Amino acid sequence: MTLRDTNVDRLRSGSFDVFIVGGGINGAVVAASLAGRGASVALVDRSDFGSFTSQESSNLVWGGFKYLEHYELMLVYKLCRSRNRLMKAYPDNVTELSFLAALDDSSPYPPWFSALGATAYWAIGGFRTRYPRLLSTARIRSEEPVIDTRSVRGGIEYRDCYLKDNDARFVFSFVRSAIEAGATVANYVELSHAERVDGRWQVRLGDLETGEEVTATARTVVNAAGPFVDGINADWGIRTRHRIVYSKGIHLVVPRLTTTEHERVLAFFDDTQRLFYVLPMGNRSVIGTTDTRIGQPFTHVDDDDRAFLLGQINKRLDLPAPLTEDDVIAERSGVRPLVVASSGDDHTDADWTSLSRKHEIEVDVAHQAITIFGGKLTDCLNVGEEVADAVESLGLPLEPDHHNWYGEPTSETRAEFFRQARLMRLDDLRQRADVEPLSDRLWRRYGRRAFAMLEAIRADPAMGEDILGGTDYLRVELHLAASTEMVTRLEDFMRRRSKIEQVVPDAELGDSEGLREVCRILFGDRADEKLAEYLEGRTRPTGSA
């Protein structure tokens, strides 16, 4: 029986304290926080965990320097605190990096004023990062020669953090913590109906893998459906003070543009005077993002989006040849679920980009229901804690919060892993010089589970071999994914547990022997069927509902 089968089995006629709909960052963090404090929890997502908004982010863990433009001091202060907490709790996953903003003639602020802002941002962030710098044009040219400095007046460097692997894998780390704390979780299970019967919630669920219908009951429900919260609340007969509007954002993944010596983000103002970035993703760069008002949550990168971003970046970089569509390796597109008052107007285009990015949590005591509106990956720990408080306010006592439901293992455990890895010369097994040492990689990705990998490699050296040509994945990682990461469709592994699909061009992946072996490890007898399903999905247009 697979991990998923066991969990679907536990959902059948299950009776839970809390039922969570939506396995994006908000649902995942709430499951980890509640299960970690002794509640019996169920979490379902109708697709894979993190596969909607949470996989389309800029991968930044940040206080939001740009929100200072709208004087959102309290939001920036809170996000900086959230960033600092994540930096401390995830020293290997949430990594500090430099943001270099080059300011040209059309930038809304001169470099000296931006430097003042960066210093204020550094102070608001409690001085937890390295200090900001005012940069001359010559300094910018020497540090990042790719920037076209002909009309640059100078710039600044400030610091924030990013998720070194990817956003969706970060989401899965909370799902994994929830599983380890005893939660019942399943991907590809849709909530189709919920109603209150005799003082409890009765939920009807569809297993989208088998077509089976399952029912369960819960004392309290948490609506963590991101862009879909309003529709679900309407079905449940719940009225709220807030609602969601959608802001579309896209990213383009291209070959690496910046120097590989430093992990650095380049920041520019686009022609509409909105900040956009060139972000590092391994040996690739990610250009984005945009902020466009949209009426519905399903999106894809269209020709105008692509042309806009490529045009903006080509104007600001000094490249041997301008970037074209042919250079785009992968695309990302999603909607930010932004919170507005239910009674408010629909907002004009002019004030669109100034809509706040803060989250709201609403509690409906009569219905025993909690809704999470909006939020950011950066703010996830607060969401986990605030929903736990809300659950307690509804009369379910939780165990005290020892803050052990999140974070990487202790530094002693880390030191022991690296000691063992050193003794067996793990890093000597690395087959590609351009990727980081294996010990760093395995520890960051798997934490405590990486000890079992050392054992597996010791027992069978073939486990330490690369499995998929130009990607940085070992055979042993696939075996671990098969048993512990609830990979239900091949895309779950290729796009979310790993970021292979985002960094390796389609032509290199194709229908290769490596991919077939990946499928055999993940799906056993169903390997051919799962590969065919994946390859068919890759040829379908993106953004379809």
Contact stretch for ligand FAD (CB under 6 A) within 56-64, 103-111, 147-155, 530-538: 56-64
Task: For 190-236, give the DSSP string.
Answer: EEEEEEEETTEEEEEEEETTT--EEEEEEEEEEE--GGGHHHHHHHH
214 CB contacts (<8 Å, ≥6 apart)? 8, 11, 12, 13, 189, 204, 205, 206, 207
Counting contacts by CB under 6 A, is residue 185 touching ligand FAD?
Answer: no
Is beta strand 94-104 parallel, antiparallel or unpaired with respect to 60-61? unpaired
Counting contacts by CB under 6 A, is residue 267 touching ligand FAD?
Answer: no
Counting contacts by CB under 6 A, is residue 226 touching ligand FAD?
Answer: yes
DSSP state of 426: G
Counting contacts by CB under 6 A, is residue 30 touching ligand FAD?
Answer: no
CB closer to ligand FAD, 24 vs 384 = 24
Pattern of binders to ligand FAD over 283-312, x per CB under 6 A?
------x-----------------------
- According to CB under 6 A, which one of 85, 336, 479, 499 is a site residue for ligand FAD? 336
Question: Among 71, 184, 79, 167, which Cα is nearest to 125's?
Answer: 79
CB closer to ligand FAD, 425 vs 540 = 540
Start-end of H helices in 274-410: 303-316, 380-393
Counting contacts by CB under 6 A, is residue 16 touching ligand FAD?
Answer: no
CB of 149 to ligand FAD, least distance (A): 27
Contact stretch for ligand FAD (CB under 6 A) within 25-33, 127-135, 142-150, 301-309: 25-33
Contact stretch for ligand FAD (CB under 6 A) within 104-112, 145-153, 376-384, 465-473: 376-384
Q: Which helix (H) or strand (E) holds 158?
A: strand 152-163
CB closer to ligand FAD, 3 vs 294 = 294
Quote the Cα angle for 119-124-125, to 5°.
95
- According to CB under 6 A, which one of 20, 45, 147, 519 is a site residue for ligand FAD? 45
**Residues 159, 97: contact at Cβ < 8 Å?**
yes
Inter-residue long-range contacts of 133-140, CB under 8 Å, 24+ positions, other chains counted: 133/157, 135/100, 135/111, 140/100, 140/102
CA distance readout (Å), 423 to 458, 466, 478: 11, 21, 24
Counting contacts by CB under 6 A, is residue 376 touching ligand FAD?
Answer: yes
Counting contacts by CB under 6 A, is residue 230 touching ligand FAD?
Answer: no
Counting contacts by CB under 6 A, is residue 375 touching ligand FAD?
Answer: yes
Q: Which of residues 338-357 bind ligand FAD (CB under 6 A)?
A: none
| Contact footprint for ligand FAD (CB under 6 A) | 21-27, 44-47, 51-54, 56-60, 190-191, 224-228, 249, 289, 334-337, 375-378
